[in-house]
A and B are shown apart, each in its own frame.
Chain A
Amino acid sequence: MSLLKVTDLVKHYPAGAGFFARGKEKVRAVDGVSFSLAAGETLGLVGESGCGKSTLGRLIVRLEEPTAGRIFFNNLDITALSGKKLRELRQKIQIIFQDSYSSLNPRRTVGSIIGEPLANFRIGTRKEQRRRVQELLEIVGLKPEHVSRYPHEFSGGQRQRINIARALALHPQLIVCDEPVSSLDVSIQAQILNLLRNLKTQFGLSYLFISHDLAAVSYISERVAVMYLGKIVEVIRSQDLVQKARHPYTRALLAAVPVADPRRRGERKVIVKGEPPDPLNPPAGCRFHPRCPAAAEKCRTEEPPLETVADGHVVACHYVKI
């Protein structure tokens, strides 16, 4: 059974900040996205900046209102939940952001930050809350005495641990991780990736793991969804990513990632030129066609649907079918 299911999700923003710009043009940040996430699964979401992956994450945790489409969580339509029902939902779906510093209140102690969700939802007595905070600190690898310290006293990696502890406080089922390791040092990224992996097994969590880093995404996820200009163009099992990915954009991404092996130097090829087009005005037909090395006439006019090419593998391309 799927824990999270998203159908034809759309989010358009009015372009331009000014009053007069309203209603004229739209930024199509998320433009018809459907996928599902099983309980206990990690789905990676990759794509380049501006492809809409963060907006998609924010829609799922209901920080943004979708323009159209539906979001189901545990088979319940949560697209339009409000008030008390939405508050209840917030216990079950949490989010961790890239910037570990600005997501922590600098004037509050770590204990009060991690305990805030418990206080908010009036879970347990004060004493029980304090005990739970201590437990959470231990779970994420922080020390008991850190409880009375302030965020600025911690390094980036430790601050991300604080964010994770807070996200875990209410026993969520799903955590949306939006670039959680991108601003961390190389040696610290592995600490946080492994922590997230262990927490998942320990607490039966599911993650939507959003990142531009293909290697990190495939390390932590069972399946990877690739996004381009507001659309998912391919979903594939992580173990098949390198060998079996078929969408020309996925192949281009894979080819562009520098490989940490000097003997394989030169295998990296520039397959696509230029930069992603403006989401204000996405190309007709397949959105990738202006940069695609394999584009043909049909790609300019007709948008390819996501189609299953193998078990657990869907692709939206006219020319990669079996």
Chain B
Amino acid sequence: MPGDIVLRVNDLYTHFVTPHGVVKAVNGVSFAVRARQVLGVVGESGCGKSVMALSLLGMVEPPGKIVSGEVWLNGVNLLALSKEQLRQVRGKEIALVFQDPMTSLNPVLTIGTQITETILAHRAVSKAKARQRALELLAKVGLPHPEKLFHRYPFQLSGGQRQRVMMAIGLSLNPKVLIADEPTTALDVTVQAQILEELTRLKSAFNTGIILITHDLGIVAEMADDVAVMYAGSIVEYGPVLDIFENPGHPYTVALLHSIPRLGKDGKVLEPIRGQPPSLLDLPDRCAFRPRCPQAGRKCTGRKPFLKAVAPGHYVACHYAAGGRPAEVGLV
């Protein structure tokens, strides 16, 4: 069972000012993560999910800029911290595992050095202690022969092994929140299954809240407790995983569920979503899904719809969603 809230994001906006206009990559996102909870964030490429992850860690590079919002972790608003203070928090309290472990590991340092460095940078422990902890971690993420791997370089490892090393580094300081951005996308399914199993095990062992970012609805169904569906920089639907799959409220979520091929249901013809995902450049202040939406009506030319509750804990941002009051900022 998920525990207390460990991370709360309030009304986050991250924009990129380019010569062509303003790219609104994250456009008013709010949610909370509990200990031992997996929050699945689904969306297609360019929906802003990765920029959202970087924003939580204050890692957005210019021309990107966090325009407004709060990220509360342990009673501290991370976005109000200085660069140096943030560096202290990053890795220790909140860590990020990327999709591509080859480019996020240093190619000229051994695996062992990279893990012990992380530990030594944040904890006042001896080198021997850090080494011992690193070996423990390598074993914990399911890597065989940690002593051997300790002296190897990233290129000597397979993709699955590198991803496990990234997880070991991510967990090395026992963070309260782990953000995993497409952690298995580059891997084969049999390897993916092992990594996902590891992630589930580690969440309980380390008491970590996990934000799992993926485009794969199968992974969300298997892993997530709650799901946030992102479209064009905003969360358009949020709720418990069963509600999202069995009672989706936003036309985009519905369409997404109808467009994926499923094993064993080959007779069913897929219903693709017409058109293309929108450009995030100069997004108008109205529902971004409207041009592709089969249910778009007169109301949709009006202002962008806010998330409102359709059931307990289940929120939908659609003018035509059945439901009552708008969600308060930070409620979801």
Contact = CB atoms under 8 A, between A and B. Distances in A.
B261 A252 contact: no
A224 B266 CA distance: 13
Contacts of B272: 187-191, 194
Contact of B189 (A187, A216, A256, A265): A256
Contacts of B219: 258
A258 B194 CA distance: 12
A253 B190 contact: yes
B39 to A, nearest CB: 14
Contacts of B102: none
B239 to A, nearest CB: 12
Contacts of A269: 193
B189 A215 contact: no
A261 B276 CA distance: 26
Contact of B263 (A187, A212, A254, A270): A254
Contacts of B188: 48-49, 212, 275-276
Interface stretch (A94-102, A235-243, A297-305, A308-316): A235-243
Interface in B249-291: 255-257, 259-264, 266-267, 269-274, 276-277
A186 B263 contact: no
A239 B221 contact: no
B160 A275 contact: yes
Contacts of B54: none
A49 B185 CA distance: 13
Interface string B68-91: 000000000000000000000000
Contacts of A253: 189-190
Nearest to A243: B264
Contact of B221 (A187, A215, A259): A259
A265 B272 CA distance: 25
B218 A260 contact: yes
A215 B261 contact: yes
Contact of B222 (A215, A241, A268): A268
A83 B15 CA distance: 56
Interface residues on A, range: 35 or more
Contacts of B273: 187-188, 190-191
Interface string A156-195: 0110000000000000000000000000011111110110
Contacts of A215: 260-263
Contacts of A103: none
B241 interface: yes
A212 B185 CA distance: 12
A273 B276 CA distance: 39
B44 interface: yes
Contacts of B321: none
Contact of B261 (A193, A254, A261, A273): A193
A27 interface: no
Contacts of A48: 188-191
A295 interface: no
Contacts of B193: 255-256, 258, 268-270
A258 B218 contact: yes
A23 interface: no
B283 to A, nearest CB: 17
Main SS class of interface, A: helix
Nearest to A272: B190
B158 interface: yes
B10 interface: no
A186 B260 contact: yes
Nearest to B241: A262
A260 B150 CA distance: 37
Given A48-B190, A187-B277, A261 B221 contact: yes
Given A186-B44, A257-B263, A270 B269 contact: no
Interface in A124-175: 155, 157-158
A233 interface: no
A74 to B, nearest CB: 29
Contacts of B257: 260
B218 A259 contact: yes
A261 B189 CA distance: 17
A242 B263 CA distance: 7
A27 B19 CA distance: 49
A112 interface: no
Contacts of B194: 270, 273
A191 B221 CA distance: 23
Interface in B202-235: 215-223
B256 A187 contact: yes
B263 A218 contact: yes
B259 A189 contact: yes
Contacts of A275: 158, 160-161, 188, 190-191
Given A187-B256, A262-B245, 10 more contacts: A187-B277, A190-B261, A213-B261, A215-B262, A239-B267, A258-B219, A262-B222, A263-B242, A269-B193, A271-B190
27 contacts: A49-B188, A185-B44, A185-B215, A186-B44, A187-B255, A187-B272, A187-B277, A190-B259, A191-B272, A191-B274, A213-B261, A215-B261, A218-B266, A242-B263, A255-B193, A258-B193, A258-B222, A259-B218, A260-B257, A261-B221, A262-B242, A262-B245, A264-B221, A265-B221, A268-B222, A270-B190, A272-B190
Interface of B: 44-45, 158, 160-161, 188-194, 196-197, 215-223, 241-242, 245, 255-257, 259-264, 266-267, 269-274, 276-277
Interface of A: 48-49, 155, 157-158, 185-191, 193-194, 212-216, 218-219, 238-239, 241-243, 252-265, 268-273, 275-276
